[in-house]
Amino acid sequence: MSTTTPTPRLIPAGTYSVDPKHSAVGFEVRHMGIATVRGAFRTFEGEIDASGEAPVLKGTVEVESIDTGDEQRDAHLAAPDFFDAEQHPQITFHTTALEASEDGRVRLAGEITIKGITKPIELTGTAGEGGIDPWGHERIGFEVEGTIDRRDFDLKWNQTLPNGNLLVSNEVKLVVSVSAVKGA
Amino acid sequence: MKILGISGSLRAASYNTALLRAAAELAPEGVEFELYDGLEALPPYNEDRDGDFPAPAARRLREQIAAADAVLFATPEYNGSVPGQLKNAVDWASRPRGKGAALWGKPAAVVGASAGEYGALWAQDHLRRALGIASARVLDVELPVAKAPLRFDDDGVLTDLEIRDHLAEIVGELVEQHARLTHAAA
């Protein structure tokens, strides 16, 4: 059992909605072992419920909103070879532990479901200062990262290069930045 | 349920077309099997002839694939790969990219026959790959019919019992895949 207590200073009690205009759900893969290719899911929603004893974050991502800056590649990524958006239109995530320490570090442990397969995941990073935005809304924010092996989620498509490297790395880094607004 | 068969060979006495005829015969009751016959008339893919008013032969191909619940491809092997005209059909059916494509999420399987030793294995592999990138739901199966002249009789009937069984299995997997998808949607 974790003994870390949620820090009231960072997440004051209440429920928060993830502000999609000031948040991002991104990912990074290595291409041919030489370059980092970045992409993002443009459509997502999320909620942080900090009304109870332990805060819980839940989020949903629309697979078809995948954007890697190349329309043909995005179509292939949404197709059965990869995410199979027709059968599995959403990626979902919820925390089992959301911890923020006094020095601004954040740790999200939870479960992520991709292509119908649920696995544990841990994301770590830093919390923003939070506070009242110019429109009088209370905001909290953080940026976290984590790594998954895409093969765990049946995202197996690949090509071995003549030098033995893989065309697309199996490790995928998730980079999530969240700005959430306290609800009424 | 309806399966569309597309043969990559244009020859009247093609072993691959004969393989699809055998598949039609082996298909379970209730499955309608249609053989696509427009491959030779399909123009080479040209984006200028696509868009709102695609070439009529291409429109027909797209409509036939869209109307089918699954597609079974039979490919010969030319120079170690898929015949140009068959790849061309995949290219037409893959566009417009994404959900609007006739092949989007479409269950598809690939079989192949050749006169040689390997039964068009490379062509099948390349075709599966192209179909996957074209957004189809490609079954992880293959059927290499090697030394084709020995597997068919003079009337083009598939006489090799083992291959007939394997072909029936593949057709059955397409039927199952379709059932799973329609069940999931219900």
CB contact under 8 A, B105 and A80: yes
In chain B, which among 121-160 make CB contacts under 8 A with chain A?
132-138
pLDDT tens-digit map of B4-57: 999 999 999 999 999 999 999 999 999 999 999 999 999 999 999 998 899 999
User: What is the value of ipTM here, to two decimals?
Assistant: 0.78
CB contact under 8 A, B105 and A72: no
Beta-bridge partners for A18 = A180
The pair of structure tokens assigned to B126 is 């390349």
8 Å CB contact between B22 and B164: yes
Helix segments in A44-181, DSSP class H: 71-78
Residues of chain B in contact with residue A74, where contact means CB-CB under 8 angstroms, are: 98
- pLDDT computed for residue B138 by the predictor: 97
Instruction: State the Cα angle at B54 between B65 and B67, rounded to 5°.
Output: 15
Distance CA A127, CA A175 (A): 14
CB contact under 8 A, B105 and A157: no
- pLDDT computed for residue A160 by the predictor: 82
Q: How many other CB atoms sit within 10 Å of the CB of residue A33?
A: 13
Q: Tell me the whole-structure pTM to 2 decimals.
A: 0.84
Which of A93, A99, A77, A79 has the alpha carbon at shortest distance from A45?
Answer: A93
Nearest CA in chain A to B95: A72
Rounded (10°) CA dihedral B131, B34, B141, A32: 0
**Per-residue pLDDT for chain A (184 aa), expressed as one digit of tens each?**
445 554 444 688 899 999 999 999 999 998 888 899 999 999 999 999 999 888 999 999 999 999 999 999 999 999 999 999 999 999 999 999 998 888 889 999 999 999 999 999 999 999 988 888 888 889 999 999 999 999 999 998 888 888 888 888 899 999 999 999 998 5
Which of A102, A109, A127, A144 has the alpha carbon at shortest distance from A5?
Answer: A102
Task: Please provide the average confidence, as pLDDT, over all residues in chain B.
Answer: 96
Q: Does B79 have pLDDT greater than 90?
A: yes
Residues of chain B in contact with residue A75, where contact means CB-CB under 8 angstroms, are: 97-98, 101, 135
